[in-house]
């Protein structure tokens, strides 16, 4: 509802067209003056912020512009003042003190729609402000690594001898200003010379699932065509500028959310998909989860013993190695040191990197190419085996055009945008189609194509995540260093069914971090001014503990937009609560002077004796900041076609020769960062597909 990818990408070349009425614009400015009052102490800076806000709104889809106009109209009305216990005057006519009162009451209202409206306005303003150079300077954000080199001991090349047993780069004399050259992609996009493309197999999407599927199928001897809706970029395009990266590398500019704004959904776009922007953690699916999938969902050949060799293979292919002890950032040391003092389980993790120079920008595309993901490993392998790749190609529909045999011919309608921005409609035909657009786009495509079982679009799993900040007397600077190198798994199994939470440390850049911090005005400003002394921990829940209660849904609307619904169950909320209490204790054990949560209103703790204040607080939509970078389950594997999208071999129910190969497949939330799980399942399924096709 806030910022679209298209709006950010074309901000400098598309002329502004008014998206708000004069009254709506005035209401937005009045709200912005209360949310970030510091930005208006200088009139020129305030004017620049308003221009940036209007430009962002102008780039929204028509549906989201309409929603925002309605939100501003309702918030600015006389009636809205009455709901806040004020005289029936428009927001514009209220004193600053009463505007603050109205805004606070809407943020904390028992009416969910009021909270959604207030958060829509708050996040839009805060996101826009904290992606400006002025805000970066004030809070001590140092920006791109490649323009400055290491400023902290947890950035740059490590001292010592280079070794292939580690994921990091070492040198005898690393120096103080290491500027590695940008990674250059070896991929060559397909040059179009015909309107109908043909192949043995078409792979739609290039993330952790699609890239692996393309490589496995091409190397098995199939003629593979890869279609990707996003652009092909490499290190030269990874500028390490946050606003630019969000606009180019994330769905909806990093501002994709559930319909009620209750959960922000972080998904990568472009060639390489989420493997370009994830934080590189490689965790194997827990044994109890794999056993549950086999017992309850009928998966075959995916028990722990079955997949162990596949995990070994993948970890070798992507150079997954344990992060050495001297490579951890202060944020990750919080987990190790705090957990050790509490006697809790915590450890270093494997990351898929080779020669990592610890820039801190893993989430915005690896400029140096140290990250070993789809763009660096599997897509080049696919192309070396003969696969063709066509970026900027959106598949609108899949049709089965004949009904003969196990692999009948499919025809895809593809909208391709060329280098000049011209859009052409193409056809693509193949007996095998692999859908790997991610757990939002994959079910939408299947729905538009009228394919899949009763679980298509249902059972969305998000690993709902919330953050707990710790404020320290010493610099933490969470925007530098390898973002995520440790995990606390003490609370991985909080119930008898294997559901619980785990705690990690994310990167902390202001565009995403600032909206996650609660509040507005002076209180929010105080938090942000402590930016370089903030350590962030995130608590991730394995959702679905209370069956039928934490189910999300993805639905393709007729106008082409997507509806994303999600409901957090009481059991999952309790688990997140236990995780927040644990994270607060870890912070204090590691030396934090205060702890700040994502509740609305925000909670600040001054001592570990206060952590039980975090129990029993409201956990509804927009009552606590929730986000997710793990989107799974909307076309899940299963033996029952009424509750799954695919059969146990990944074949879409009722659509022979159409398969799913991404996080949509996962029967339940895996309970770990899903990259390795997706790669393993897709490896198994792709091998089965190739063998079936060769013998058909």
pLDDT per residue as tens digits for the range 489-534 = 999 999 999 999 999 999 999 998 999 999 999 999 999 999 999 9
Closest alpha carbon to 321 in 354, 364, 284 = 354
The full set of domain ranges for the chain reads 5-129, 198-253+283-317+368-391+400-408+432-454+637-695, 462-628
- The CA distance from 93 to 99, in Å, is 9
**Residue 176 predicted with pLDDT over 80:** no
- The CA distance from 196 to 225, in Å, is 12
**Residue 537 predicted with pLDDT over 80:** yes
Sequence-distant (6+) residues with CB within 8 A of 22 are: none
Between strands 627-628 and 264-265, the pairing is parallel
Percent of the chain at pLDDT exceeding 90? 89
- The CA distance from 99 to 571, in Å, is 37
**Residue 449 predicted with pLDDT over 50:** yes
Signed CA dihedral, 661, 667, 672, 677: sign only: negative
> Please, which pLDDT band fits residue 656 given cuts at 50, 70 and 90?
very high
Signed CA dihedral, 217, 220, 224, 226: sign only: positive
Helix, strand, coil shares of the chain, percent, nearest 5, are: 40, 15, 45
Superfamily (CATH H level) for 198-253+283-317+368-391+400-408+432-454+637-695 = FAD/NAD(P)-binding domain (3.50.50.60)
> How many Å separate Cα 689 from the centre of its chain?
29
Query: What is this structure's pTM?
Result: 0.94
In this predicted model, what pLDDT tens digit does every residue of 83-113 receive, in sequence order?
988 889 999 999 999 999 999 999 999 999 9
In this predicted model, what pLDDT tens digit does every residue of 591-626 receive, in sequence order?
999 999 999 998 999 999 999 999 999 999 999 999
- The CA distance from 411 to 415, in Å, is 13
Could you tell me the strand order of the sheet in which 562-565 lies? 458-460, 552-556, 562-565
What are the tokens at 52?
Answer: 């940036």
Return the pLDDT at 586: 98
Return the pLDDT at 1: 36
Return the pLDDT at 524: 96
What are the tokens at 324?
Answer: 């050495």
466 C-beta neighbours (distance < 10 Å), count: 25
Q: How far is CA 625 from CA 406, 535, 596, in A?
A: 47, 17, 12
What are the tokens at 318?
Answer: 């992507």
Angle between helical axes of 22-35 and 62-75 (0-180°, round to 10): 70
Signed CA dihedral, 158, 160, 161, 164: sign only: negative
CB 266 within 8 A of CB 564: no
Return the pLDDT at 175: 66
E strand or H helix that includes residue 123:
helix 112-129
CB 239 within 8 A of CB 245: yes
E strand or H helix that includes residue 68:
helix 62-75
């Amino acid at each position: 509802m806030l910022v679209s990818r298209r709006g950010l990408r074309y901000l400098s070349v598309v002329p502004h067209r008014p998206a708000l009425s004069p009254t709506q614009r005035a209401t937005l400015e009045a709200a912005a003056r209360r949310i970030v009052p510091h930005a208006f102490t200088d009139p020129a800076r305030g004017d620049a912020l308003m221009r940036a806000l209007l430009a962002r709104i102008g780039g929204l889809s028509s549906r989201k512009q309409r929603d925002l106009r309605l939100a501003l109209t309702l918030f600015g009305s006389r009636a809205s003042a009455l709901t806040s216990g004020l005289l029936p005057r428009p927001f514009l006519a209220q004193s600053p003190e009463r505007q603050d009162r109205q805004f606070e009451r809407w943020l904390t209202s028992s009416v969910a729609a009021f909270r959604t409206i207030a958060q829509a306005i708050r996040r839009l303003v805060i996101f826009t402000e904290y992606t400006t150079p002025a805000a970066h300077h004030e809070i001590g954000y140092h920006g791109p690594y490649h323009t400055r080199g290491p400023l902290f001991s947890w950035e740059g090349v490590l001292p010592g001898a280079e070794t292939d047993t580690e994921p990091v780069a070492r040198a005898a004399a690393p120096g103080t200003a290491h500027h590695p050259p940008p990674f250059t992609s070896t991929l060559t996009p397909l040059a179009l010379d015909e309107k109908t493309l043909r192949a043995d197999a078409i792979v739609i999407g290039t993330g952790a699932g699609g890239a692996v599927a393309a490589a496995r199928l091409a190397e098995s001897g199939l003629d593979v065509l890869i279609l990707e809706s996003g652009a092909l970029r490499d290190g030269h395009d990874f500028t390490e500028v946050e606003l630019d990266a969000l606009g180019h590398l994330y769905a909806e500019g990093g501002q994709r959310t559930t319909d009620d704004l209750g959960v922000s959904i972080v998904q990568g776009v472009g060639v390489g998909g989420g493997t370009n922007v994830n934080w590189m953690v490689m965790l194997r699916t827990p044994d109890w989860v794999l056993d549950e999938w086999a017992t309850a969902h009928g998966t075959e050949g995916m028990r722990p013993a079955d997949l162990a060799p596949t995990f070994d293979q993948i970890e070798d292919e992507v150079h997954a190695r344990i992060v050495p002890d001297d490579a951890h950032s202060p944020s990750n040391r919080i987990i190790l040191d705090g957990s050790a003092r509490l006697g809790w389980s915590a450890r270093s993790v494997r990351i898929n990197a080779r020669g990592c120079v610890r820039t801190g920008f893993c989430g915005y595309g690896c400029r140096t190419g140290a990250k070993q993901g789809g763009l660096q490993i599997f897509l080049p392998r696919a192309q070396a085996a003969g696969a063709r790749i066509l970026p900027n190609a959106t598949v609108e529909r899949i049709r089965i055009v004949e009904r003969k045999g196990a692999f009948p011919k499919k025809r895809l309608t593809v909208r391709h945008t060329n280098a000049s921005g011209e859009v052409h409609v193409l056809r693509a035909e193949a007996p095998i189609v692999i859908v790997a657009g991610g757990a939002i786009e994959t079910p939408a495509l299947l729905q538009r194509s009228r394919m899949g079982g009763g679980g298509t679009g249902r059972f969305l799993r998000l690993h709902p995540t919330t953050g707990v900040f710790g404020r320290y007397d010493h610099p933490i600077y969470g925007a530098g260093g390898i973002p995520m190198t440790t995990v606390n798994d003490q609370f991985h199994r909080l119930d008898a069914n294997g559901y619980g939470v785990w705690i990690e440390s994310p990167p902390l850049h202001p565009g995403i971090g600032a909206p996650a911090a609660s509040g507005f005005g002076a209180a929010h400003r105080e938090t942000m001014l402590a930016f370089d002394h903030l350590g962030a921990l995130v608590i991730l829940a394995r959702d679905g503990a209370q069956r039928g209660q934490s189910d999300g849904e993805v639905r393709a609307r007729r106008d082409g937009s997507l509806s994303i619904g999600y409901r957090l169950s009481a059991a999952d909320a309790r688990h997140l609560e236990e995780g927040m209490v644990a994270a607060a204790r870890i912070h204090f054990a590691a030396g934090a002077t205060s702890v700040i949560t994502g509740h609305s209103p925000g909670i600040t703790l001054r001592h570990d004796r206060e952590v039980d204040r975090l129990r029993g607080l409201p956990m509804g939509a927009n009552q606590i900041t929730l986000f997710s970078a793990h989107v799974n389950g909307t076309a899940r594997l299963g033996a029952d076609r009424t509750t799954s999208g695919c059969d146990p071999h990944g074949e879409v129910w009722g659509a022979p020769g159409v398969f799913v190969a991404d996080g949509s497949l996962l029967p339940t939330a895996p309970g770990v960062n899903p990259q390795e799980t997706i790669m393993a399942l897709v490896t198994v399924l792709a091998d089965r597909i190739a063998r079936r096709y060769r013998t058909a």
